[in-house]
C-alpha cells in the first residue's frame, strides 16, 4: 500500500489533476509450492472423475449452449493480436479521466482464484470520488454472479451509486452503448466474461481441468476505457498473470459475455455492470482528473 493510499484510509478522498502513469499493482503473495501442487493435484483428480458425467449431461440437456462455447473457445488467443498490450494505445487509455480515477484510486489484483468479483468491486469503489474507504468491503472469495456484485457495489456506497446489469443476451447494440459510458466519468463499468472465447483453452486442452475451466471459467474485471476509433476495449484484469491492462476488440469481448453461464440452471448470459455515480461531484472530481 503506497503512501498516497495510506493518507486516504481514514476518510473520503478526491483525485489530483496531475496525470499519473499506470504502474502494475503489487502481486498477491505466492502460496507455498507444496500447497499449490497439492491443490492442483486434487482439482485435476476430481475433474478427471467428473468430466464424463458432466459432458454427457450438457450434451443431452444443454447441447446448443455447450457447443456454442466450444466453438468460441477455438478462436486464436487475443494475446497474439498486435494491439493486445500496445504501449501507445494503452497510454492513450490511461490519459482518460475514467482511467485516471481507477489509477489514482488504487487498482488491485485478486488475492487468488475465486476472488475476482471482490477485487473488481474494490477497484470500482476506490475509483469513485468522495467514496469513504471504511465502506469498501474487505477482500473475500465468492461466486462471480452479476446480481450479487451489483448489490455489493450499491450497498457499499450508501446511495452514491445506482448499478444496472446489461446482459449479453440484450444484444450487441446495448453492449456498445455501455462501452461508450465506460469513457464517461459519471459511470464505471465491470465485465463478467468467459475467458476461453478470449484466450482459448489452457494448453494442453485435453487435460480434464483445462477443458472444464474453458466451459465454466467466468471472470470479473473492470473496464477502464474504450477506444472508440479503434473499437478496442481496455480491461484491467484483476488476475495478475494477464499483465494488468490489455485491449480486446468489442465484438470479441461481446462474444465472451454473450455466453450462457453453464453453472446456473437458468439460461442466463454473462453481463456488464454499469455503475452510475448519482451524487454531484466535488470541485476536484471528474473534470479535474486530467489537465
Domain ranges of the chain: 41-280
Q: What is the percent of the chain where pLDDT is above 70?
A: 75
> Which among 198, 199, 196 has a CA at the least distance from the CA of 212?
196
Residue 56 gets the label, from left (phi > 0), alpha (psi -120 to 50) or beta, of: alpha
Whether 262 contacts 65, CB under 8 Å:
yes
**CA quadruple 30, 34, 38, 43: dihedral, nearest 10:** 20
For domain 41-280, the CATH superfamily is: Phytochelatin synthase, N-terminal domain (3.90.70.30)
* pLDDT the model gives residue 1: 39
Confidence bin at 30 (pLDDT 50/70/90): confident
Over residues 3-21, the pLDDT tens digits come to 344 344 434 556 666 789 9
Does residue 251 have a pLDDT over 70?
yes
Alpha helices in the chain (DSSP H): 3-8, 33-61, 63-73, 87-94, 97-105, 116-126, 146-157, 172-181, 196-199, 208-216, 250-257
Is the pTM for the entire model greater than 0.85? Answer: no
Amino acid at each position: 500500500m503506497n503512501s498516497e493510499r495510506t493518507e486516504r484510509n481514514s476518510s473520503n478522498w478526491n483525485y489530483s489533476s496531475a496525470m499519473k502513469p499506470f504502474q502494475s499493482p503489487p502481486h498477491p503473495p505466492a502460496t507455498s509450492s507444496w500447497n499449490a501442487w497439492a491443490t492442483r493435484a486434487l482439482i485435476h483428480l476430481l475433474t478427471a472423475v467428473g468430466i464424463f458425467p458432466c459432458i454427457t449431461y450438457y450434451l443431452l440437456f444443454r447441447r446448443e449452449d455447450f457447443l456454442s462455447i466450444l466453438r468460441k473457445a477455438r478462436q486464436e488467443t487475443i494475446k497474439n493480436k498486435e494491439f493486445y498490450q500496445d504501449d501507445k494505445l494503452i497510454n492513450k487509455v490511461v490519459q482518460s479521466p475514467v482511467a485516471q480515477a481507477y489509477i489514482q484510486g488504487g487498482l488491485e489484483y485478486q488475492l487468488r482464484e475465486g476472488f475476482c468479483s471482490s477485487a473488481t468491486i474494490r477497484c470500482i469503489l476506490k475509483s469513485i470520488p468522495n467514496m469513504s474507504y471504511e465502506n469498501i468491503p474487505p477482500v473475500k472469495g465468492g461466486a462471480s454472479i452479476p446480481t450479487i456484485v451489483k448489490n455489493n457495489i450499491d450497498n457499499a456506497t450508501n446511495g452514491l451509486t445506482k448499478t444496472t446489469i446489461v446482459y449479453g443476451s440484450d444484444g450487441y447494440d446495448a453492449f456498445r452503448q455501455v462501452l461508450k459510458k465506460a469513457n464517461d466519468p459519471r459511470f464505471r463499468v465491470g465485465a463478467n466474461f468467459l475467458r476461453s472465447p478470449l484466450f482459448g483453452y489452457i494448453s494442453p486442452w485435453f487435460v480434464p481441468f483445462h477443458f472444464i475451466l474453458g466451459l465454466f471459467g467466468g471472470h470479473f474485471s473492470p473496464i477502464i476505457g474504450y477506444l472508440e476509433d479503434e473499437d478496442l476495449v481496455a480491461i484491467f484484469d484483476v488476475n495478475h498473470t494477464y499483465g494488468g491492462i490489455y485491449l480486446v476488440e468489442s465484438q470479441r469481448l461481446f462474444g465472451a459475455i454473450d455466453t450462457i453461464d453453464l453453472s446456473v440452471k437458468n439460461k442466463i448470459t454473462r453481463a456488464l455492470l454499469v455503475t452510475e455515480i448519482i451524487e454531484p461531484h466535488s470541485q476536484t472530481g471528474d473534470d479535474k482528473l486530467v489537465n
